[in-house]
Amino acid sequence: MPKHTLLLALSITFASAWAAQAQPVAMQRVYVVSTAVDPELEAIAGRVGAAARAALRRVDGADWQRADQRFLGYDDNTLEKLRIARVKLEEGRTAYLDLRLDEATTLLVEAVENFDQAMSALEDPADLGTALLFLGAAQTYNNDRRGAARTFTRLHVQMPHLVPDPNLFPPDVIDRYNQAAVRARDGQVTVESDPPGSMAYVDFIPRGLTPVTIGDLPRGEHTIRVVSPGSTPYIENAETGGRRGAASVNAFLLPVDGNEGLDEAVNGIAGHEMRTADGPIGEVGRILDLDKIGVIRVSYGDSQETVKLELVVFDVHNRRRVLRGEVQAPRALGELEEVVARAVQQSIENVLSPQAVDEQHPTFVDLTPTVPETPVERDPLYKKWWLWAAIGAVVVVGAVVTIAVVAGRSDPIGQDSNGQVVFRF
């Protein structure tokens, strides 16, 4: 039984008719930022913001690119490196499935190099992790033991939550990955910055505001990224553990021209009532040149294992609040990000829908996940005869969401004097 039940009150007439008609969605400039009510929650708010923006990038009709560049502080060259990296990843994955292992290794090495060069724009490490997994598999089958060990060790150190899927990778690859595991966790890094109060990432995970010391890290080389909204990020690799002991990083951040004041505006949102897009919220919308802005405020949950997320979407032009909701989400790595991604994608899609016009009389939609049936055991993918014979095979896995429309509901979560859509995840 799923832990989290989604309950959305969305301004649409009939969800099924909306999905069937699939009217074109006009592009709107949209972005999502996060904030915390307490400094102790800043690292979690950083994770929430990264997951929200990753979900936003999958929403049709959301023009997020320019705002993303301004907020994260990367340039067009970084964007091009990211594009090349993803092209090389797809070509390398195809070459691996076709058993063109030398070509696959070359392409995947190039993909990883380009991802590394685009680190300032890489909030979500999933594509880099996929490139490393397939590179390690290709090196394993090419009998490049040292190369595979280096590749899989990096995964263990920097992305331990990404593991090879036994339904996709054969036992030899799984064994080689397990052999590369890093046992020692005596790594420590201290991060300082000018200005202080910037977010320190270690291996794609926000760890807190500078100055901050992070311990209990796997021994090895870690990627340290220090960011502040609107500034060019500082990125450095640091070796920790063993004879090297603790590592230290001193970052200097400089705002990108035109972004002055963005950091102060984002920090000011935490104390905002979030009823209208005035004050710091309006300032963020102005600097990023947005039509819609989403704000997620992180506060303490009902237990030490949870946090409360309040999601509000505003129309920047008329300053009205057009959607509001809240959810109790787990703090655990991966689980929190899943809740945020689902909430943001569904909410922004609804806000951008052509049918989202009747704010005074919204229809309530129950998006309660169905209980999955007992999965049928199947042979792992690598055992399929056609996997190794197919050329350029692409497997697409989709998700089906059942939508039930609940009309005439008197639940108070749908009542608001501003006429906005109100929902609870």
Which neighbouring-strand residues pair with 32?
294
Token code pair at residue 66: 């320019």
Count of H-run helices and E-run strands, the chain: 12, 16
pLDDT band at residue 26 under the 50/70/90 scheme: confident
* Structural domain boundaries in the chain: 8-65+258-367+403-424, 76-179, 187-252
pLDDT at residue 186, rounded to an integer: 87
CATH code linked to domain 187-252: 2.60.40.1120
Q: What's the DSSP call for residue 218?
A: P
Give the C-alpha distances (Å, rounded to integers) separating 361 from 122, 347, 356, 417: 40, 17, 11, 11
* Digit-coded pLDDT (tens) for 80-115: 999 999 999 999 999 999 999 999 999 999 999 999
pLDDT band at residue 379 under the 50/70/90 scheme: low
pLDDT at residue 161, rounded to an integer: 84
User: What order of strands is seen across the sheet that includes strand 220-227?
Assistant: 205-209, 199-202, 220-227, 234-240
* Digit-coded pLDDT (tens) for 201-256: 999 899 999 999 999 999 899 999 999 999 999 999 999 876 667 899 999 999 88
Tokens 């040149």: give the residue.
Answer: 289
- Distance, CA of 166 to CA of 350 (rounded, Å): 36
- Distance, CA of 369 to CA of 356 (rounded, Å): 23
Fold agreement (76-179, 187-252):
no
DSSP string, 78-110: HHHHHHHHHHHHHHHHHHHHTT-HHHHHHHHHH
The domain 76-179 is placed in CATH, from the list 3.10.510, 1.10.3470, 1.25.40, 1.20.1260, at 1.25.40
pLDDT at residue 123, rounded to an integer: 86
pLDDT at residue 353, rounded to an integer: 83
Contact 39, 5 (CB under 8 A): no
- Distance, CA of 131 to CA of 128 (rounded, Å): 5
For the domain made up of 8-65+258-367+403-424, the CATH class stated in words is alpha beta
Strands 421-424 and 321-330: parallel
pLDDT at residue 92, rounded to an integer: 97
Contact 302, 321 (CB under 8 A): no
pLDDT at residue 184, rounded to an integer: 86
Q: What are phi and psi of 34, to 5 degrees?
A: -130, 155
Token code pair at residue 79: 């964007």
* Digit-coded pLDDT (tens) for 107-159: 999 999 999 999 999 888 889 999 999 999 999 999 999 999 999 999 999 99
Mean pLDDT of the chain: 81
pTM of the model: 0.77
Residue 6's nearest CA partner among 373, 368, 387 is: 368
- Distance, CA of 423 to CA of 323 (rounded, Å): 8
pLDDT at residue 61, rounded to an integer: 93
